[in-house]
Structure 1
Amino acid sequence: MELLFSNQPTHTLTLPRLYDPRATLLAPSSPAPSEPPAPRDSGTETDVRFLVWWLREFLLEDRDRPELFSQGDTVRPGILVLVNSTDWELEGELDYVLQDGDELVFISTLHGG
């Protein structure tokens, strides 16, 4: 996973509290956004679905191969996701609403992690 994200094991992010889900569901022919969405006064609470999209669009180093990290709106099979040291399946997976101070860990179970 580090190789996909600038060879850094840790990233500290500041994300908006709310987002417009339509901004993250770009049609395949639409160009990728050039900068992260601005904070909003209304919309959907920022969840893991938004984080996966944000990581793919703005932090993924190899922009030509996003499939190494994600598949559709989720992470690709073979990537374990922990939310505050708990398997994300117990926290609601993509629907988990992010809280200040949350720690999410993405671990590739392929090729030794």
Structure 2
Amino acid sequence: MADKLIIELLFGGGAELLFDKIKKRTIELPSLQKYFPENNNEKWTIRDLLVWLKDNLLRERPELFLQGESVRPGILVLINDADWELSGELNYEIQNNDSIMFISTLHGG
């Protein structure tokens, strides 16, 4: 198994404001066992990615992006342009070259 996993992250609808106003970035995830030594899984899941995002890319107001171990209500998650509900949500095993998009559907007034 390869040590690294390369994926594309996209943020829209205001979610990018929490991530240094960067809408699109390609990232290389480290070996899962190096990042989460206590994790017995062999593959990165969306659940793992959310922890990694919080630790590495989320710059402000995590409560606007995360709630518990998932994204907060009002954040649409697309995996390869399909709703994550079709792929297993938090348990989806991330594949090399996946495109994962987070879109905020909440708009303040």
**TM-score, structure 2 normalization:** 0.76
What's 2:9 paired with? none
**TM-score, structure 1 normalization:** 0.74
Pairing of 1:1-113 with structure 2 (within 5 A): 1-19=15-33, 37=35, 43-44=40-41, 45-62=43-60, 65-111=61-107
Task: Classify the secondary structure of the residue corresponding to 1:56.
Answer: helix
Number of residue-to-residue matches in the alignment: 92
Pairwise CA distance, 1:71? 0.6
Please, what is the CA RMSD of the aligned residues?
2.0
Task: Classify the secondary structure of the residue corresponding to 1:107.
Answer: strand
> Larger strand proportion, structure 1 or 2?
2
Distance 1:61 1:50 in 2: 18
Which runs of 5 or more residues in structure 1 are unaligned? 21-36
Distance 2:89 2:106 in 1: 20
What's 2:7 paired with? none
> Which structure 1 residue ranges, 4+ long, deviate > 6 Å from structure 2?
none
State the Cα deviation string for residues 24-62 of structure 1 (Å, max 9, x = none): xxxxxxxxxxxxx27x7x831210001111111110111
Which runs of 5 or more residues in structure 2 are unaligned? 1-14
Pairwise CA distance, 1:12? 1.2
Identity %: 51
